[in-house]
A and B are shown apart, each in its own frame.
Chain A
């Protein structure tokens, strides 16, 4: 087969539908990565316009531009849009677009999930923007502290938009994180062992794992606050056994890692782009990976430094202050590794390099002011002043926006296949750089003079007028610079000018294909022996196009790829992807209906929407079923691999495992909240304790023990070719018993609106019932598959997945029941 013919055939198999209709049914990472990036950029512009409004307001004293009601919405939305709708999705989009290409695969692990995540993001983000257009946007600041945001002090729907809209968007973050984790671990080119992975993949993996463990506390906080607002469960009300500090803990448990979730992908871009700009290799690959891992761990121990002024005991302050300064070590290590890389090579002043220099200059300052505010006495003065806002922009703009601009300019030839030929980019960079520093140096200064953040006006006597004006002028220079970058990129896209393949002479795989990238990425998959495959084999792209790699022959209309062993990169299984479908967009619309019903308090559509999601999810997985045993598939180079449906640890299993990791973090945060309220909140003990019941506890515990054991039995029977159906039914019964025990807990919990104790029990019980329902649905699904003949001793992947969920449900169920009943049973 000729390369061109192969290209045509593969394109026919992988292409999305023609025209704009294709957007709604595409599941291809090429499309979705671009859609993510495009949407995120729109939000960046919206957030930037809001920033301009802020600076207009603050430019003059006693500004009459916007009253506090509107101004509070403006800065809240600016922070919210930038953090949740721009920064995180930009990472997701970049990773979704690049990872399969860098890893030598054809798509991500779960193409339909990518699409589902995108639509949740687009719908959830739009909800917030619509609220803003109607003037009912959130106005409590981007960290939404109750009781300011509780129903008494913020009765309007504004806050609900934040809590519900952001939770909706968070689904996409979790979906993308699961996707990225499994893709990096399993969907790589044969031979690419962990130590041969491109550095960006390491950063993406670490970031994704951080999202899985960092976002659940925020989701929990939002759920609890919304429950308090909508139904009066007093989790954050001090007089009813709640505590507003709980929100601060949950929020910053998320919020601090969030900063690194934003920084690490940008560091990944720098580690990728910088060595290419310097014509050398990255210095200290292993050290950098370890530093990023260390950063990820450390960043979960720092959240309290956002609460230094809340009256934390002195010992606690010392600990968190120490931890906060410690985190500068792995950050510094990366910086110096990059400088070392520059020393080792011969840096060239291309546009991406300019932005990287912008990064160095800005981020180092941000890091140093960060260390300063980690010193407690200094923070007591600087906290909640413009100094902090300035610091955080040095970190976020320096540590994220500059690297992303570098990345845009670096990969732009990849997206469009064309070469840049204007000098506009240099001018734009100069304006952005100057504008940024004028704006935010001024804000540092005025912060030290005592200007608080989040004020909408100040008096001439304060003496801040001139500095604020300078800052505002700077911000307009910055805005012009960003507009020029936008124009530059658009010109680039619309002026045809074919460049050559791999214009930077980069070593990584994403350049081993024609650009713009074809829907199938690689015509055949490479075998990797080194970390810099394109330097090892400069003609790799041509050879892959000629079909000399794995899976070089299009067949059966299949979208095929390979999975490898995590550590060694040995090929392990053969995967056939689902094709274009509207299921993801429909499912996220129904998910949106669920959130919208909550928001507008149309409670009767809530169960409808939930049933809809369950129904669609059922169809989603049902379509993956096989009616007969798939054979071993020849995959080229003389290897044959089993189908993913016939292995113990299928992609679905890995996906479930990481989704449950996020879920377990959510659950742990819930237990933490329970213990925190019990021990720290004023207003305890509650007026009434839960009356324990040995019958309920016993039923639940027996159910929780029986279910996983019975399913384990089913798996053994199935493996031996027997009939697993009866054991699956027994497992189902066990789950039902557990669900009933949790339901009884909800039913009998002491009046949940009277005290946070009853409210927490209600939520714990609800968690158990929800999971029992999900596990029961999955058990029912498995039973239906068995009945349909969709399983066999060979087709066994579904069993392991269901076992995972049932075991998780049983474990958390046990915790819940014990936490509720045991305190009353111990005399």
Chain B
């Protein structure tokens, strides 16, 4: 996408630059309209944008959650300025500031808030999704290897916003089982 954008930008700049060369004869307006307005103005953007749109939609389709058999369910509730996570596989567990997930399994995160609007964002794992009072939004993510990932809240929420972050720890099979039993930490 970046390369395409740079290409278009370069093209436009070259066209602007070429306007400064010396000209002897100048075509009539009619021909110019056909070239600049119909050609560059209508056909060209229509083609580029059509392609881009298709690309965006197919990717978006792949990223959005679908029902599956083995999906782990967790909830993430935000409040100023901490995240609380609960796990449907272990109803008694609640963690603050750290979300535990199994690696290699899809996870659905039900995102809600107890006060203002926040946004759940783990850049390495998925795009952001907002936590909105009265609504629950579901985000699908999957860590393909165990590890720790940084997450931040990405919607301005007042004075404590700077440091409003959390971590996601993806566990291998054994550690995940241990976590669900409450035997971790």
Kindly state whether residue B82 has any CB partner on chain A within 8 Å: no
Give A190 to B144 CA distance when docked, in angstroms.
73
Tell me the chain B residues, 135-185 only, with Cβ under 8 Å from chain A.
135, 137-138, 152, 154-162
Question: A148-B156, A328-B49 are contacts. A283–B29 as well, Cβ < 8 Å?
Answer: yes
Q: How far is the CA of A456 from the CA of B156 in the complex (A)?
A: 11
Render A675-697 as a binary contact track against B, CB cut-off 8 A, 1 for contact: 00000011100000000000000
Instruction: Tell me which of A72, A309, A340, A683 contacts B134 (CB under 8 A).
Output: A683
> In the assembled complex, how far is the CB of residue B17 from the closest CB belonging to chain A, in whole angstroms?
9
Chain A contributes a number of interface residues (CB within 8 A of B) equal to 81
Known: A147-B117, A284-B33, A311-B135. A153 touches B12 (CB 8 A): no
Interface readout for B115-126 with A: 1 if CB under 8 Å, 0 if not? 111010001001
Q: When the two chains form their complex, are residues B154 and A383 in contact, meaning their CB atoms are under 8 A apart?
A: yes
* Interface residue stretch chosen among B55-63, B86-94, B99-107: B55-63
Shortest B43–chain A CB gap in Å is 10
Q: Which residues of A contact B64 (CB under 8 A)?
A: 314
Whole-angstrom distance from the CB of B150 to the nearest CB of chain A? Answer: 8
Task: Give complex CA distance A225, B5 in Å.
Answer: 40
Is A661 an interface position by the 8 A CB rule? no
Q: How many A-B residue pairs have CB under 8 A?
A: 216
Top 10 A-B pairs, shortest CB-CB distance: A380-B127, A238-B134, A340-B36, A333-B41, A342-B19, A311-B137, A375-B56, A682-B134, A336-B40, A238-B133
Chain B min CB distance to A308 (Å): 9
Interface residues of A in 293-324 (CB under 8 A from B): 309-311, 314, 317-318, 321-322
Q: Who on chain A is nearest to B133 by CB?
A: A238
Known: A283-B33, A309-B127, A332-B41. A153 touches B162 (CB 8 A): no
**Of A244, A284, A344, A364, the contact of B26 (CB 8 Å cutoff):** A344
In the complex, which residue of chain B has the Cβ closest to the Cβ of A683? B134
Interface presence of A723 (CB below 8 A): no
Other A-B contacts than A339-B16, A458-B162, 11 sampled, CB-CB below 8 A, are A68-B159, A68-B162, A145-B116, A147-B117, A148-B116, A238-B135, A309-B129, A377-B60, A383-B128, A384-B155, A683-B134
List B contacts of A357 (CB < 8 A). Answer: 16
CB-CB < 8 A to A9: which residues of B?
A: none
- Bound form: Cα–Cα A238–B42 in Å: 45
B132→A72 contact, CB < 8 A: no
Residue of A nearest to B15 (CB): A339
Q: A368: which B residues are within 8 A, CB to CB?
A: 5, 8-9
A-B contact pairs, 30 of them (CB 8 A): A141-B156, A148-B116, A239-B134, A244-B133, A278-B19, A283-B29, A284-B29, A314-B64, A318-B57, A321-B57, A321-B60, A329-B42, A333-B42, A339-B40, A343-B18, A343-B23, A344-B32, A347-B19, A360-B12, A360-B16, A364-B8, A368-B5, A368-B9, A375-B59, A377-B59, A380-B127, A381-B123, A384-B119, A384-B128, A453-B156
A residues less than 8 Å from B61 (CB atoms): 314
- Which residues of A sit under 8 angstroms from B60, Cβ to Cβ? 314, 317-318, 321, 376-377
C-alpha spacing A68/B157, complex, angstroms: 11
With a cutoff of 8 Å between Cβ atoms, the chain A residues found around residue B53 in the complex are 321-322, 325, 375
* A337 CB within 8 Å of chain B: yes
B45 to chain A, nearest CB (A): 4
- Please give, as numbers and ranges, the residues of chain A lying within 8 Å of B126 by CB-CB distance: 380
Q: Is A393 an interface residue (CB 8 A)?
A: no
Question: Is residue A747 within 8 Å, beta carbon to beta carbon, of the partner chain?
Answer: no
| Residues in chain A near residue B55, CB distance under 8 A | 375
Most buried by B among A154, A237, A318, A325: A325
| Interface check A365, CB cutoff 8 A | yes
Q: Out of A318, A329, A347, name the residue touching B46 (CB < 8 Å).
A: A329
Chain B residue at smallest Cβ distance from A340: B36
Q: A284-B37, A325-B53, A681-B134 are in contact. Are A339 and B19 (CB under 8 A)?
A: yes
Q: Within the assembled complex, what's the spacing in Å between the Cα atoms of A152 and B138?
A: 27
A344 to B57 Cα, complex, angstroms: 39
In the complex, A311 Cα to B13 Cα: how many Å?
Answer: 38
**Nearest B-chain residue to A332, judged by Cβ:** B45
Q: Mark A352-379, 1 if CB is under 8 A from B, else 0.
A: 0000010011001100110110111111
The residue on A at minimum CB distance from B134 is A238
Contacts of A153 in B (CB 8 A): 80, 115-116, 158
Known interface pairs A68-B160, A347-B19; A287-B154 also in contact (CB < 8 Å): no
A318 to B64, CA, bound (A): 12
Q: CA A239 – CA B112 in complex, angstroms?
A: 13
Give the CA-CA distance A767 to B41 in the complex, in Å: 45
In contact, B19 and A309 (Cβ under 8 angstroms) = no
Closest residue of chain B to A361 (Cβ to Cβ) is B13
A87 within 8 Å of B (CB atoms): no
Q: Which residue of A lies closest to B35 (CB)?
A: A340
Tell whether B1 is near chain A: CB-to-CB under 8 Å. yes
- Residues on B with C-beta less than 8 A from A278 are 19
Contact of A340 among B20, B37, B46, B63 (CB under 8 A): B37
Contacts of B127 in A (CB 8 A): 309, 377, 379-381, 383
- Does A455 touch B at the CB level, under 8 Å? yes
- A339:B36 contact, CB within 8 angstroms: yes
Q: Report if A454 contacts B (CB, 8 A).
A: yes
The reply to whether A371 and B41 contact each other, CB–CB distance below 8 Å, is: no
B130 touches A364 (CB 8 A): no
Instruction: Give min CB distance, A112 to chain B, whole Å.
Output: 42
A96 at the interface (CB under 8 A from B): no
CA–CA, A311 and B133, complex, Å: 12
Which of B12, B15, B57 gathers the greatest number of chain A CB atoms within 10 Å?
B12
Q: For B117, list chain A residues within 8 Å (CB).
A: 145, 147-148, 244
Any B CB within 8 A of the CB of A821: no
Least distance between A237 CB and chain B CB atoms (Å): 8
Which residues on the B side are within 8 Å of A335 (C-beta)? 12, 41
Which B residues touch A340, using CB under 8 A?
A: 32-33, 35-37, 40
Contact A72 B158 (CB under 8 A): yes
Contact among A145, A287, A321, A375 for B41, CB-based, below 8 A: A287
Q: How far is the CA of A237 from the CA of B134 in the complex (A)?
A: 9
Which residues of chain A are within 8 angstroms of B132 by Cβ–Cβ distance? 238, 244-245, 310-311
Query: Roughly how many angstroms separate A333 CA and B38 CA in the complex, as a whole number?
Result: 8
Smallest CB-CB separation from B36: which chain A residue?
A340
Q: Are B115 and A375 in contact (CB under 8 A)?
A: no
Please state if A329 and B45 are interface contacts (CB–CB under 8 Å). yes
CB nearest to A242 among chain B residues: B134
With A325-B49, A342-B19 known as contacts, the answer to whether A364 contacts B12 (CB < 8 A) is yes
Q: How far is the CA of A342 from the CA of B16 in the complex (A)?
A: 8
Across the interface, name the chain B residue whose C-beta is closest to A318: B57
A530 at the interface (CB under 8 A from B): no
Measured between beta carbons, the chain B residues less than 8 angstroms from A454 are: 156, 161
Is there contact, CB below 8 Å, between A72 and B159? yes
- Asked whether B128 lies within 8 Å of A343 as measured between CB atoms, the reply is no
Expressed in whole angstroms, the Cα–Cα distance for A69 and B1 within the complex equals 38
Residues of B within 8 A of A597 (CB): none
What are the residues of chain B within 8 A of A498 when measuring CB–CB? none
Given known A-B contacts A243-B134, A347-B19, A368-B8, A287 and B128 have beta carbons under 8 A apart? no
Instruction: Please measure, in the bound complex, the distance between the C-alpha atom of A321 and the C-alpha atom of B57, giving whole angstroms.
Output: 9
Q: Which of A69, A309, A344, A347 contacts B29 (CB 8 A)?
A: A344
Complex: chain B residue closest to A152, CB-CB: B115
Q: Which residues of B contact A453 (CB under 8 A)?
A: 156
Q: Which residues of A contact B44 (CB under 8 A)?
A: 332, 336
In the complex, chain A residues whose CB is within 8 Å of the CB of B32: 283-284, 340, 343-344
